[in-house]
Each structure stands twice: as C-alpha cells, then as structure tokens.
Amino acid sequence: MRPLKFAANSRFILLKIGDGEQVEMALEKVAQLRGVSYDLKESGKHEIGVIAEEVGQVVPEVVSYEENGKDARGVDYSRLTALLIEAVKQQQRQIGTQHSQIRAQQQQIVRLNNTVRVLRAASHAGSETRPSSAANAAAQTASVRTKDQQLRTVRRQLNQLRDKDTRLEARLARLEHALNAPGQQATVIAMASP
C-alpha cells in the first residue's frame, strides 16, 4: 500500500434544505482509520496522512480512484472532515453520558454511606440494650444478624460502585486528555468506542 496525494474537490454541490443526511456511525468509522507518517518518493519530504486503499474500505465516498475503479488515486481530506466532525460530536455525547453516570454513582455512594452509618448505629444500639427475657434476646440477636447482613450487602454494593466509578473516572480522564492533546483525535475516537 502506498500513501497517495491529496485530491481536492473544487466543484460546488448545491443541496436543497433537507437533502443532506447526517453521517451515520461516524465514531466507529473513524476508529477503523489509521493515521500514518511516510516519506514521499519523489522529494523525500516527510508527510502524515492516511492510506487511500484503507480509507476506501471504510469511507469510499472520500477516495478518488483511477479509471479502472480499483486503484486508489487519493483521499479528499476536506470531505473526510465531515466524518471527523460527527465522530467528535458522538464522542462528546458519550462523555456527557459518562459524566451523568459518574454523578449518579457518586450520589448513590453518598446514599449507601448514609445507609451504612444508620445500620451501624442501629446495630450498636441493639447490641447495647440488655434483654429482659430469652425471647427478647433471641429477637434482638436475629435483628442484629439481619442488620449485619444488610450492612454487608450495602458495603459490597458500595465497593462495586466505587470500583465502577474509578474505572469511569479513569476512562473519562484519558478521553479528556487525549481530546486536548493536539493531533490525537483518532486515538480519542478509538478510546471512546465501547
């Protein structure tokens, strides 16, 4: 495979309002693309770009071909921009969703912590009272066991939420870092794919 030159499309295309369709599955398509660096044979100049044959397998609309219809001549990078715009918008929606999930999980962690405190206090209060009869003692023991089981369940749920929250925070941090790093949009898009 060889890197090919930029093929600019200078003709104007007029669309009636409503004729344009949004690019579907942009994030998935961009994740399949590969940015490369190479040296031009003619001049030895170092360049970066994409390989037209690879792009043609994912987004054939942006690749121009030789008259035989098989050999790729070049990639129209200006048209590839539409795909990148939609991919970034999709990614931003995913980041927004993840932010919402993190906030909801943090609120759930606070509620679970409060429940743990209440159960712990009730467990201690129940163990400090002295039963007046064997029946009261058995009832209080059963109550304490139930509360201990509830406490263990809540703690397990809390730990699971903390683990998930930590993983989401780490993924979000990587996405935000990659999004802010110049020239890292393809990496960001690949990282955001589920």
Contact 28/94 with Cβ under 8 angstroms?
no
Whether 62 is covered by a domain: the verdict is no
Residue with tokens 């906030």: 103
User: Residues 34, 85, 70, 50: what is their CA dihedral angle, to the nearest 10 degrees?
Assistant: -30
pTM over 0.75: no
What domain range includes position 100?
A: 84-192
Which residue, among 88, 89, 34, 86, has the nearest Cα to 58 in the 3D structure? 34
Contact 61/76 with Cβ under 8 angstroms?
no
Instruction: Give 34's contacts (C-beta < 8 A, 6+ positions apart).
Output: 50, 51, 54, 186
DSSP for 40-82, written as a single string: -TTT--EEEEE-HHHHHHH-GGGEEE-TTSSSEEEE-HHHHHH
Whether 47 is covered by a domain: the verdict is no
pLDDT tens track for 150-165:
888 888 888 888 888 8
The number of domains in the chain is: 1
Point out the residues of the chain with pLDDT beneath 50.
Answer: 1-18, 130-131, 186-188, 190-194
Mean pLDDT rounded to a whole number for the chain: 78
Whether 59 is covered by a domain: the verdict is no
Whether 13 is covered by a domain: the verdict is no
SS3 39: strand
Predicted pLDDT at 132: 52
pLDDT tens track for 56-76:
999 999 999 999 988 899 999
Residue with tokens 């606070």: 110
Whether 118 is covered by a domain: the verdict is yes
Whether 119 is covered by a domain: the verdict is yes
Instruction: Give 32's contacts (C-beta < 8 A, 6+ positions apart).
Output: 57, 58
Whether 66 is covered by a domain: the verdict is no
Residue with tokens 């903390």: 162
Q: CA end-to-end span of the chain, whole Å?
A: 29
